[in-house]
Structure 1
């Protein structure tokens, strides 16, 4: 049974006392090692309502379309993994990141643009698209029952967006754990971050062509399971829904619209949608992490908060290294 958590019921995750005490020190270390130009409440004086505008825009869009939170979270991944968290995934045009076929199924652009439009009225030229993307992904998780995470702001927008940079920097759904770790490590992310950030698949959806390597079509055009690691009943339901490669299914077949630790319980039940999901249970390096996260949602939320902040700081631009775009879809002229 799937459900959406009512926005009125969302409240801060009750972090353990020890985690809450260590959190400021953890973030301070990240800021020191990343950039002194980023800070919490960066827009406190220049645009005091910036985070409120983004949060309100995300919640309004999410209440009208339950798929929005998953799209916004995925948008952050695709922005940060390609040339850092610089908003370059938003730029339109031939041969830009956004034009690459690997980004064809991305969504949530209008939510970012809507927030930017409001901010440009009240605080023109102040709030970067890169910060809006990061804040929107943070707020999307909170909106569907996930943890409240404080993230530093002050990112600048990149001025270059190249399609050729997309494929070498994103995770294909048939990657091995070693292949995933290679990409994550290049971003300063660890094996634990691979497991934790894969938990993003507790929300969102995917087109059937994203996991068609787990099936094949027989002479009659009917799908046939070739990946025996999948639960048979789950595989049957996927084949029934995937009459065409353009059809889509929820990443999480149990609680599709709630940010929770059901993803890890799905892995234990052999219901990981992608090969990159299933491998986390199959590989001895990550199996214990999956088992622990499946049994402890509070621990998942704590670790998610850490890994999410690390993701949001990948390759950030600050100071004179970048600009604040007037429109997220184009660089300033």
Structure 2
């Protein structure tokens, strides 16, 4: 009960921080496009919904995209820029998908509201809608982000979570983004949907003298490990993927936290949530209460999509998301 109270207290503090940030960033507001492009949210939602109907993996891709964008250069669509040595060219981003959904929404918006809606806002709204379409909560996020003009591959690795990270490494990285330990546990819940390539968790296994994989990470459930080795043998093709949530892979719910407790999670960075008493208790709370997770998610997602935002005269409103205007 005491831990539950501390979680709710953290929520209250988080809400205070969010509205404080919004008041400082005068151009970031919930009604930013009310006069200039009132149909913006409908257009983006239609693009996400249509794409998700054709490809059920889209929600997971869009949710991953917002993390990889916001953690590098802030939430400014720097990930969308194409070219040599841009963020997209870093190996950590080569498997990020969903770009066509953002570009599709942008093309429609340029017809109805030319030069008005940033690619950064489209990414944030598309990820928000992806969560709801996959069964998660619908939340409001403030808008008014502008697009960045810098995208450098060497900025990626120091600013994104590696799947082999320890708890301390994750805490330090999240802290640089203004995100707390509670935010870390909440946002890890994004792994309730999506897929991952075999190489992202290969470090939990080792190849023996006969060329077969064997489990070396004893924090992983043995039966689950055997399933993974069958799906991802040594000679698995690079395009082979595994559902991150083995139970409800297409549904945004709190199953991820149950998987953590059952030691049935793909990444070491997920397993380490049990290595700290504070994070373990929060994991248990979320595993037992979907509404508690959803309420917390609403707060943490707003914080995530407010990381390093550019507003006012910073950046630009791109005409196309793949290139700057100059």
- Same topology, TM > 0.5: yes
**How many residues align structurally?**
315
1:288 paired with 2:290, answer no
Structure 1 counterpart of 2:186: 196
1:269 and 1:56 map into 2 onto residues whose CA distance is: 37
CA contact (8 A) 1:85 1:315 kept: yes
Structure 2 counterpart of 1:146: 136
1:206 paired with 2:199, answer no
- The aligned runs of 1:116-155 (5 Å cut-off) are 116-155=106-145
Secondary structure at 1:142's aligned position in 2?
A: helix
2:54 and 2:43 map into 1 onto residues whose CA distance is: 17
Structure 1 counterpart of 2:22: 31
Structure 1 counterpart of 2:258: 265
CA contact (8 A) 2:15 2:299 kept: no
Q: State the Cα distance separating 1:272 from its structure 2 match.
A: 1.4
1:240 and 1:129 map into 2 onto residues whose CA distance is: 40
User: What stretches of structure 1 of length at least 5 have no aligned partner?
Assistant: 1-17
2:10 and 2:290 map into 1 onto residues whose CA distance is: 14
Comparing 214-223 with 315-324, which one deviates more in the overlay? 214-223
1:46 and 1:274 map into 2 onto residues whose CA distance is: 43
1:251 paired with 2:244, answer yes
Distance 1:182 1:22, change over 3 A: closer
1:268 and 1:233 map into 2 onto residues whose CA distance is: 15
Q: What is the TM-score with the length of structure 1 in the denominator?
A: 0.91
Q: State the Cα distance separating 1:223 from its structure 2 match.
A: 1.2
CA RMSD of aligned residues (A): 1.8
2:36 and 2:108 map into 1 onto residues whose CA distance is: 15
Q: State the Cα distance separating 1:23 from its structure 2 match.
A: 9.5
User: What stretches of structure 2 of length at least 5 have no aligned partner?
Assistant: 1-8
Q: 1:226 aligns with which of 216, 229, 239?
A: 216
1:71 paired with 2:61, answer yes
Q: 1:83 aligns with which of 58, 63, 73?
A: 73
Secondary structure at 2:242's aligned position in 1?
A: strand
Q: What is the TM-score with the length of structure 2 in the denominator?
A: 0.93
1:310 paired with 2:310, answer no
1:53 paired with 2:35, answer no
2:22 and 2:227 map into 1 onto residues whose CA distance is: 45
CA contact (8 A) 1:38 1:318 kept: yes
Please give the per-residue CA displacement for 1:173-196, whole angstroms capped at 9, x wherever unaligned. 000000001110000000001100
Secondary structure at 2:249's aligned position in 1?
A: coil
- The aligned runs of 1:12-27 (5 Å cut-off) are 27=18
